[in-house]
Structure 1
Amino acid sequence: MDAVRPLLILAGAFCLGSAAAAQDAAAPSRDALTIGITQYPSTFHPNIENMAAKSYVLGFVRRPLTAWDADWRLTCLACETLPSLDNGLAERETTPDGKPGIRVTYRLRGDLRWGDGTPVSAEDLRFAWEAGREFATGFGPAEFYRSAYELIVVDPRTVTLRFDRVTFEYASAGDFQPLPARIERARWEADPRTYRTRTAYDTETANPGLWNGPYRIAAVQPGASVTLERNAEWRGPAPAFRRITVRTVESTPALEAQLLAGQIDMVAGELGLPIEQAIALERRTGGRFRFAYKPGLIYEHLDVMLDNPILADRRVRQALLMATDRAQITARLFDNRQPIAHSGVSPLDPMHDPEVRQWPFDPARAAALLDEAGWRRGPDGIRRNAAGERLALELMTTAGNRSREQVQQVLQGMWRAAGIETRIRNEPPRVFFGETLSRRRFQGLALFAWISAPEGVPRSTLHSDEIPRAERNFSGQNYGGFRNAEMDALIEALPLELDPERRRPMWRRLQAIYAEELPALPLWFRADAHVWPPWLEGVRPTGHLNPSSLWVEAWRVRDAAAR
């Protein structure tokens, strides 16, 4: 069925007259959908590692407690009511050590079932909390589990979490979500440190009891595809498709070719074609596909390995940025659709500071900084220090992403002009994210994107306590190893201020430190290109960390009469 259906679609695209009419009439009977993405998850465990490919796939098969919707509003998915101080599901209190705290109560939806028919219960939340509190497990973000010092099971569907601080994010459960205790607890209790290699999510991925969304994972082909089938125990609105196949094509030209050949029906914007490739495709194909370009909180940047003595010098980081003509790159490669970034906070975020320091393209100033840092041009144009060592840096990204590989080539040329030698080394995304970054094995610069929530405090990426290390099983996302006491203090203080206007100067200072210290080199804020078949409707791109797949039950096959 999967191998035949794309051929039928391709054939239909070239039929005229009565054949086309027959295809339109048959369109509502479509019961399968094939989606192309550019990455394959390094794990399917919901609480281990943050990777966009995993979030997208799990959006079809799991329901977290809360999520940000396409209108950027926090909403309940697995819970009945979003907690608030007004409705009494959140209450201020004093912690046992006399500090201001808060208790937050979540009541699970009564119709939520795991795929084997077992109700999702408070015990599943208790297990997730206990596993997260044991830092050797490697769950992230660690700060959530540290702050949630007690979980009380109120009844089989209700839990109360007690936090040791009151934050403006108190209603958001973030990545905290239920895990099927009857399947996972024994595996975890055997040894929390090795649990991540023995979890059923990766050893028995097709076990229906792991999934509670509209779909369940029915089969995986490692590195290639994930097959989803309807979850018979789902009690929400019925999803339109009997089967969804999420196919990984790490080469973006190959992904486009499969779309044109009818081997896939759509390309997910969250992990799809670079914007310039999609624009060119739209110009060539006319109305064959529907295109949507969604700007969002997607920060393309260069993570910097600050343990590298060359990059530990702030002057070198500043010089690298001033030797980069980002305006030219965005104009030539991205049709000026991706605004230049000056910090990690997007102009679309309510806390963006438009006055933050900017580093314009300035080759002369870059050269002066490198001279000041002790890097002088050699006879071959490459700079060397007093010991004769070359100014050479490794530059990595996700292999097969044509856009990023083009950016690498441009950066290599621009930096060569500044006397900096660049060695390009790329890896498949599942290796790059699952091993190289998470275990801090990169040596120089790493090109990728962070995706955040509205006003998302960047603790995991900037706080010194979030530098991945063995004793926490490499949780945390401060891959570069940034350490700054004032930044740590701001990140700790920001969530405690409930008044948005009082948070604003704190956000302004955070961005100022970022722009001065450059723990990462800001490039631009991405717009995602979504490519859909004309018969698919109901997909709503979000532009933030919660993917459109979380609302797959709203996706529908367009009625032929409405075409």
Structure 2
Amino acid sequence: MIAKNYVLGFARRPLTAYGADWRLTCLTCETLPSIENGLAVLETTPEGKPGIRVTYRLREGLRWGDGTPVSAEDLRFAWEAGRDPATGFGPAEFYRSAYELIVVDQRTVTLRLDRVTFEYASMADFQPLPAHIERARWEADPRSYRTRTAYDTETTNPALWNGPYRITAVQPGSSVTLERNPAWNGTAPGFRRITIRAVENTPALEAQLLAGQVDMVAGELGLPLEQAIALERRAGTRFRFHYHPGLIYEHLELRHDHPALGDIRVRQALLLATDRAQISERLFAGRQPVAHSAVNPLDAMFDPEVRQWPFDLARARALLDDAGWTPGPDGIRRNAAGERLSLEFMTTAGNRAREQVQQVLQGMWRAAGVETRIRNEPPRVFFAETLSRRRFQGLAMFAWISAPESVPRTTLHSDEIPREDRNWSGQNYGGYRNAEMDVLTHTLPEELDATRRREMWRRLQAIYAEELPSIPLWFRADAHVWPTWLDGVRPTGHLNVSTLWAEEWRAR
């Protein structure tokens, strides 16, 4: 998913994004709506609820790569496709809330939202889609649109791209080539062509960098931190290294309908048996702080008093005893029916750091009497199929990336559990359910007062730290490796990738 966003940042642009300064800005719109400038107006919905209407005007001169103007009809199509549950768009909360889109003129739309939220001006990933290319495909069969879209079947069609670059070649599993988009009317890009290579094995990625086969390694999804640190010691003068902390949360997703993991005592025992501080120190030179909830200390809404779970093997064993899992003759615990406490453990194959962490966790948990069976998959399979369709059976290690003060409804609300009848939209892959968390993740965005919102955030973090819908590991720092001749790359440290400003990249 990060790779997809990274590539699309060169070639496609949303309405709004958070910049490197963590402030919301317009990308394809002219002005951010606000109550003060009149582009946001409080109103009552047809159902009598508090609502808001926000108006966006597209920048003048925006064109798709075939010269067709980017218009309000492209926003209307994106909204209609997103609103249809059969389409199966990922985070569907926005499309449920935006109950009406009004085309004001060729470049202007007004969205009516059935909720007043503190982030009403942020359109997240909502962006124009080329209606003249995509609408007929969607209308033919919304349910199969995700596999029939021209973005998959005609990726090099210039009409799909409205950014400073357009995709001109794709070698599946190998590379994507981008070239300047002649229809782009913004700042002229500094490079005629950029090729992005997909290297799923991080040692091979380092070897290609040293051999000059690649010029830079993107921090958003490149070398693990400890590998970059070691490389800097050996070859620091050849490259520029930048370590950027951010809102990147490494964790263990859990199947809550698993007979063992559905027990809060087992989840707490796994966390107590995990010496995260030692792992961070030994593998990451202490640069990745231990996470105590899903909220990063860099975020303004982080609660420094949130409950912490320090490493305590004795307490972990006691919790497992209390949960009815007693040690067997080989040290692996069993329940009253004689079933072993054995968990499948998955992550992205080829990521050396994660595979090292897996081995360490496997040993730590075995000391508590928990057996793990490692089964990894290539990222394209792991994310596109196994997670999104909830096919993993126990534990899955990966990272979430968020924007500043991003309410985690899509990962924690029970209505976001992917289901076949919704074409697997939603990102609550573990199937976590908690009525109070549902209320918090739904109502927290509606609180406009930051002080009251902070108290709600405190409660959300308290529930998370107690119930452990996922097992928090640490907050990642991205390692960016650039050639000495490159300027203009601005890491953000959050969900919106640096390539959204790729037209600013320059050679010295």
Report TM bin, short chain: over 0.9
Q: Give how far 1:170 is off.
A: 0.3
Cα distance in 1 for partners of 2:490, 2:110 equals: 32
Q: Give how far 1:194 is off.
A: 0.7
Q: Give how far 1:307 is off.
A: 1.3
Contact 1:66–1:77, Cα closer than 8 Å, also in 2: yes
**Among residues 179, 190, 197, which one is paired with 1:240 in the alignment?**
190
Q: Which whole-Å deviations, capped at 9, do the CAs of 1:243-295 have from their partners, x for residues lacking one?
A: 10010101100000000000000000000001110001000013110000000
1:529 partner letter: A
**Among residues 347, 366, 369, which one is paired with 1:397 in the alignment?**
347
Q: Give how far 1:107 is off.
A: 0.3
- 2:338 pairs with 1:370: no
- 2:314 pairs with 1:358: no
- 2:398 pairs with 1:453: no
Q: Which whole-Å deviations, capped at 9, do the CAs of 1:87-140 have from their partners, x for residues lacking one?
A: 111011111122111000010011111000001000000001011111110113
Cα distance in 1 for partners of 2:474, 2:91 equals: 25
Cα distance in 1 for partners of 2:262, 2:465 equals: 15
Q: Matched residues, percent identical?
A: 82
- 2:131 pairs with 1:181: yes
Q: Give how far 1:223 is off.
A: 1.0
Q: Within 5 A, what are the aligned runs for 1:33-44?
A: none
What secondary structure is seen at the aligned counterpart in 1 of 2:271?
helix
What secondary structure is seen at the aligned counterpart in 2 of 1:290?
strand
- 2:254 pairs with 1:304: yes
Q: Give how far 1:63 is off.
A: 1.0
**Among residues 408, 411, 433, which one is paired with 2:361 in the alignment?**
411
1:169 aligns with 119
- 2:225 pairs with 1:275: yes
- 2:419 pairs with 1:437: no
- 2:298 pairs with 1:348: yes
Q: Give how far 1:197 is off.
A: 1.0
What's the TM-score once normalised by structure 1's chain length?
A: 0.90
Q: Which whole-Å deviations, capped at 9, do the CAs of 1:218-245 have from their partners, x for residues lacking one?
A: 0111111111011000011111111100
Cα distance in 1 for partners of 2:52, 2:138 equals: 29
Cα distance in 2 for partners of 1:310, 1:391 equals: 7
**Among residues 385, 397, 407, which one is paired with 2:335 in the alignment?**
385
- 2:457 pairs with 1:507: yes
Unaligned runs of 5+ in 2: none
- 2:264 pairs with 1:314: yes
Q: Which whole-Å deviations, capped at 9, do the CAs of 1:445-489 have from their partners, x for residues lacking one?
A: 000000000000001100000000011110110000000000000
Runs of 4 or more consecutive aligned structure 1 residues displaced over 3 Å after TM superposition: none
Q: Give how far 1:71 is off.
A: 0.3
2:105 aligns with 155
Q: Give how far 1:165 is off.
A: 1.3
What secondary structure is seen at the aligned counterpart in 2 of 1:408?
helix
Cα distance in 2 for partners of 1:97, 1:277 equals: 55
1:333 partner letter: L
- 2:180 pairs with 1:230: yes
**Among residues 152, 174, 189, which one is paired with 1:202 in the alignment?**
152
- 2:37 pairs with 1:87: yes
**Among residues 80, 84, 90, which one is paired with 1:140 in the alignment?**
90
Q: Which whole-Å deviations, capped at 9, do the CAs of 1:284-343 have from their partners, x for residues lacking one?
A: 013110000000000000000111111000100000000000010000000000000000
Cα distance in 2 for partners of 1:366, 1:448 equals: 23
1:469 aligns with 419
1:411 partner letter: L
Contact 1:392–1:423, Cα closer than 8 Å, also in 2: yes
Contact 1:148–1:162, Cα closer than 8 Å, also in 2: yes
1:53 aligns with 3
Cα distance in 2 for partners of 1:229, 1:193 equals: 32
**Among residues 273, 277, 284, which one is paired with 1:327 in the alignment?**
277
What's the TM-score once normalised by structure 2's chain length?
A: 1.00
1:322 partner letter: L
1:118 aligns with 68
What secondary structure is seen at the aligned counterpart in 2 of 1:266?
coil
Q: Which whole-Å deviations, capped at 9, do the CAs of 1:196-216 have from their partners, x for residues lacking one?
A: 110000000000000000000
What secondary structure is seen at the aligned counterpart in 1 of 2:115?
coil
Contact 1:83–1:106, Cα closer than 8 Å, also in 2: yes
Cα distance in 1 for partners of 2:236, 2:120 equals: 47
1:30 aligns with none
What secondary structure is seen at the aligned counterpart in 2 of 1:105?
strand
- 2:446 pairs with 1:496: yes
What secondary structure is seen at the aligned counterpart in 2 of 1:171?
coil
Cα distance in 2 for partners of 1:332, 1:141 equals: 36
Cα distance in 2 for partners of 1:115, 1:147 equals: 31
1:213 partner letter: G
What secondary structure is seen at the aligned counterpart in 1 of 2:43?
strand
1:191 partner letter: D
- 2:244 pairs with 1:294: yes
Q: Which whole-Å deviations, capped at 9, do the CAs of 1:494-548 have from their partners, x for residues lacking one?
A: 0110111110010000000000110100000000000000000110100000000
2:56 aligns with 106
What secondary structure is seen at the aligned counterpart in 2 of 1:414?
helix
What secondary structure is seen at the aligned counterpart in 1 of 2:74?
helix
Q: How many residues align?
A: 508
Cα distance in 1 for partners of 2:172, 2:101 equals: 36
Instruction: Provide the aligned C-alpha RMSD in A.
Output: 0.6
2:46 aligns with 96
Contact 1:141–1:175, Cα closer than 8 Å, also in 2: no
Cα distance in 1 for partners of 2:169, 2:360 equals: 40
**Among residues 69, 88, 94, which one is paired with 2:19 in the alignment?**
69
Q: Give how far 1:400 is off.
A: 0.3
2:450 partner letter: P
- 2:292 pairs with 1:338: no
Cα distance in 1 for partners of 2:33, 2:241 equals: 37
- 2:495 pairs with 1:552: no
**Among residues 514, 517, 537, which one is paired with 2:487 in the alignment?**
537
1:472 partner letter: R
2:452 partner letter: R
1:318 partner letter: Q
1:264 partner letter: V
What secondary structure is seen at the aligned counterpart in 2 of 1:271?
coil
- 2:157 pairs with 1:192: no
Cα distance in 1 for partners of 2:101, 2:52 equals: 12
Cα distance in 2 for partners of 1:140, 1:85 equals: 29
1:34 aligns with none
**Among residues 145, 163, 177, which one is paired with 1:213 in the alignment?**
163
1:215 partner letter: Y
